[in-house]
């Protein structure tokens, strides 16, 4: 079902390319026209891994008859006023990203959480911040060190040793040997409150072992 959308700065619309030259492309948004500049569209040129491939014509990305996504660039005059005056809108080329992310912002004072969503809820109602099955990476490390400081067994001055260690799971009996991103490289002793030592997997493993696996 088609629906009418008013022109707003910062919003994304589908547009028809009507003309193209070496510097600009002209597009039709139905109720208004706009221009895309070469300088704002070079990122979309065809990728060549062996050599630089500058855009040479049609903003390097589009030809007459193409349907492209554009964003209305904010200016001193609103898009609707420019449309009424018959002036073209300043636009930037957009695309729907293949990769989307998630963000959860937490206020340490109020403990209020604000999960970020994906690119466009109209395209997908999937909420990656709370529905995605993802690897936490190093995001859990502050929680481990927070528990370590809370236990009062660690302070910012406690020495943490970034050295190779081996741990055994008390329930399964399986062995676990933490590995840093830089394999076979170790920083030795470092204070828990400074330096990279506490952020390495080995220093973290020592904290977990000292606190107990059930904590």
Query: Each residue of 93-147: pLDDT tens digit?
Result: 888 888 877 788 888 888 777 777 777 777 788 888 778 777 777 777 788 888 8
Q: What is the pTM of this model?
A: 0.54
Q: Return the percentage of the chain with pLDDT > 90, whole number.
A: 3
Q: 57 falls in which pLDDT band (50, 70, 90)?
A: very low
Angle between helices 201-211 and 141-150 (to 10 degrees): 40
Give the residue-averaged pLDDT of 72-88. 85
Q: Report the pLDDT value the prediction gives residue 18, as an integer from 0 to 100.
A: 92
DSSP 36-101: EESTTTGGGSPP-SSS-----SGGGT--TT-EEEEEEPP-SS-HHHHHHTTPPEEEEEE---S---
Angle, alpha carbons 205-164-181 (nearest 5°)? 75
pLDDT score recorded for residue 28:
92
What was the pLDDT predicted at 24? 85
List phi, psi (to 5°) of 138.
-90, 5
Q: How many Cβ atoms sit within 10 Å of the Cβ of residue 1?
A: 2
Residues 167-179, mean pLDDT to the nearest whole number: 81
Q: How far apart are CA 47 and CA 88, in angstroms?
A: 30
- What 3-state class would DSSP assign to 161? strand
Burial of 115 (0-12, 13-18, 19+ CB in 10 A): middle
Q: Report how far residue 209's alpha carbon sits from residue 215's, in angstroms, rounded to the nearest whole number.
A: 10
* Selected residue with higher pLDDT from 54 and 13: 13
Number of H-type helices and E-type strands within the chain: 4, 11
Taking only the tens place, the pLDDT of each residue in 198-210 is: 556 667 777 777 7
Distance linking the first and last C-alpha atoms of the chain: 55
**Tokens (6 digits) for 54:** 């500058």
**What's the rounded Cα separation, in Å, for the pair 118 and 104?**
12
Q: Nearest 5°: phi and psi at 105? A: -100, 130
Among candidate residues 61, 19, 67, the one with its CA nearest the CA of residue 39: 61
């Amino acid at each position: 079902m088609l629906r009418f959308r008013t022109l707003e700065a910062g919003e994304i619309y589908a547009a028809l390319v009507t003309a193209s030259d070496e510097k600009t492309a002209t597009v039709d948004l139905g109720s208004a026209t706009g221009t895309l500049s070469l300088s704002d569209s070079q990122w979309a040129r065809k990728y060549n891994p062996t050599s630089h491939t500058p855009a040479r014509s049609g903003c390097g990305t589009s030809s007459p008859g193409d349907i492209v996504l554009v964003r209305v660039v904010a200016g001193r005059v609103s898009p609707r006023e420019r449309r009424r005056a018959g002036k073209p809108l300043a636009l930037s080329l957009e695309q729907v990203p293949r990769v989307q992310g998630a963000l959860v912002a937490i206020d340490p004072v109020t403990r209020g959480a604000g999960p970020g969503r994906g690119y466009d809820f109209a395209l997908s109602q999937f909420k990656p911040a709370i529905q995605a099955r993802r690897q936490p990476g190093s995001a859990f490390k502050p929680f481990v060190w927070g528990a370590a400081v809370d236990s009062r067994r660690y302070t910012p001055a406690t020495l943490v040793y970034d050295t190779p260690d081996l741990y055994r799971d008390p329930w399964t009996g399986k062995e676990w040997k933490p590995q840093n991103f830089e394999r076979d490289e170790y920083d030795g002793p470092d204070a828990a409150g400074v330096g990279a030592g506490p952020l390495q997997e080995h220093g973290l493993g020592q904290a977990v072992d000292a606190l107990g696996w059930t904590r």
